[in-house]
Amino acid sequence: MAPEARKTNYVIRGGAEGRERLRLLSQIHRQSTLDLLQRAGVAPGMACLDVGCGGGDVCFELARLVAPDGSVLGVDIDAVKIDIAQREARAQQLENVAFRVIDLEQGELPSQFDFVHIRFVLSHLRNPQKLLATIHGALRSGGTIVISDTQFYGFFSEPESRALARGVELYVKTIERRGANANIGPRLPSMLAAAGFQDVQVGVVQHAHIRGEPKTILPLTVDFSADAIITEGLASRAEMEALVAEMYEFAENPMSIIAGPRIIQAWAKAAS
């Protein structure tokens, strides 16, 4: 397991390999994320913060939406991903986006933002409520927070796959062993309210695939979490290798369907 995974409670393999998984994840969620950002009121001139930005995909979208006078800061604990994000921003000639390495559970966030985005982060934290309180302090009065996170038990396959069900079970249990919650999604609205946010709103999206690379995202996630699953004593390496192989084989079936977890979207305003 990558050292940063144990250090940060993040069970999925990070670094350059993890960046490629996040790229695929962003491809899957791109349109629903853009719809959400626009629905939540992202506009030119805003100062934006992307918390747990990974390789920067949402930062790049935000940078275009708030141009020419707006700015975007992406923060993440994974220095390798931050380095990749910086290089990709230069390649895309985006001059209004910057990146910084920050430990979300230990460090402080910069402040005075109009808009904060956080996707697939709270489900990996031991104390997500604390981070929401910190984010509230980072927003200007009346600023907007947008969160997307998972309800993994909402996933399904057709035909039903025991391997996929087992893989998801192991992933969820591993996150629970680390003190976090892979099914945190439905709690987001109440958590926002508890952190002092107002005008809380909610939506749900779910992506299903019958072909193509996006269909592999669930097997890939379990595959990239195998070291953590083994470390937690939930399965042997031989068991994980066989399970992951069966999951990929199911994904290769041209008539099988894989639907990932339900994604709960919640957005709200900082108290005026």
* Domains of the chain by start residue, with CATH: 3-269 (3.40.50.150)
Confidence (pLDDT) at 16? 62
Confidence (pLDDT) at 2? 36
Residue with token string 């439905």: 186
Residue-by-residue pLDDT tens, the chain, 272 positions: 333 333 446 676 666 665 677 778 888 999 999 999 999 999 999 999 999 998 999 999 999 999 999 999 999 999 998 999 999 999 999 999 999 999 887 767 888 999 999 999 999 999 999 999 999 999 999 999 999 999 999 999 999 999 999 999 999 999 999 999 999 999 999 999 999 999 999 999 999 999 999 999 999 999 999 999 999 999 999 999 999 999 999 999 999 999 999 999 999 999 87
Full-prediction pTM beyond 0.75?
yes
Confidence (pLDDT) at 25? 84
Confidence (pLDDT) at 10? 65
Confidence (pLDDT) at 193? 98
Confidence (pLDDT) at 1? 31
